Amino acid sequence: MNFLSDEFDKLKQDNITYRNEIKQLKKENEMLHYDLSEVKGKFINLDQLSRASNIEIQCVPEYKSENVINIVKQIGRTVSVSINDNDIHYCARIAKLNADSTRPRSILTKFNSPRTRDSFLSAVLTYNKKNVQDKLNTHDLGFGSMQKSPVYVVENLSPDNKNLHAATRKRAKELKYKFVWVRGGRVYARKTETSDTVFIRNLDILHKLI
């Protein structure tokens, strides 16, 4: 009997030890997950910061003989902001995220500074607000022989933030949020005109929206 009792006590103690080890491993795993999330967050922020001078121009018809710098300048003239060659560090079409998409490739433009980029974006936003029924479109860019269609000028988001923005728009539609926008590489949402603005830092925050 004493032998069985000793064995039972040993098993009981081993069980306690294993439980404690499992708790410790879970705690360490949570800490590693938190550290990994922090590192990933910092990487995403640095990636986005490197795009602070960039814009994407979307839905501009694509031609072999086109001059994309001239397209940027034409947008500038349309929205009343002066852009010259020295303001543009880089300008080119970029690959589609979805190869099956029928939309033309976006034009990535890197300006010489974030200030120039912000002035350009602000001018486009002001123009569209003043011309609600006739926002920036293909006819403004000289494509008068084809059907008029919208042209979009947006911040150049990192791949992670693009995915977050897309997920936020989808979630906002499900929850009947009226507003989703991007500013300074960050995604925001607001349910109504009088609601508080929510900074969608990551998917965890997005999933908590009500």
pLDDT value for 83: 97
What is the structure's pLDDT at 22? 82
**106 secondary structure, DSSP code:** P
- pTM of the full structure: 0.79
Structure tokens at 37: 């999330």
Q: Residue 92 pairs with which residues in a beta bridge?
A: 108
User: What pLDDT, on the 0 to 100 scale, is given for residue 199?
Assistant: 96
What CATH homologous superfamily does 52-156 map to? Answer: L1 transposable element, RRM domain (3.30.70.1820)
Please tell me the predicted confidence (pLDDT) of residue 4: 59
Q: What residues does each domain of the chain span?
A: 1-50, 52-156, 158-210
N-to-C CA span, the chain: 61
Asked if residue 195 lies in contact with residue 187, where contact means CB atoms within 8 angstroms, the answer is: no
> What is the b/e burial string over 71-91, where b = at least 16 CB atoms within 10 angstroms of the residue's CB?
bbbbbbebbebebeeebbeeb
Question: Which has the closest alpha carbon to 23: 15, 13, 11?
Answer: 15
Q: In tens digits, what is the pLDDT along the chain, a chain of 210 residues?
A: 565 566 666 777 777 777 877 888 787 777 777 667 777 778 888 999 999 999 999 999 999 899 999 999 999 999 999 999 999 999 999 998 888 889 999 999 999 999 999 999 999 999 999 999 999 999 999 998 889 999 999 999 999 999 999 999 999 999 999 999 999 999 999 999 999 999 999 998 999 998
Say what the pLDDT of residue 198 is.
96
Residue 153 Cα distances to 64, 107, 128, 170, 187, angstroms:
21, 9, 11, 20, 16
Amino acid 6: pLDDT = 65
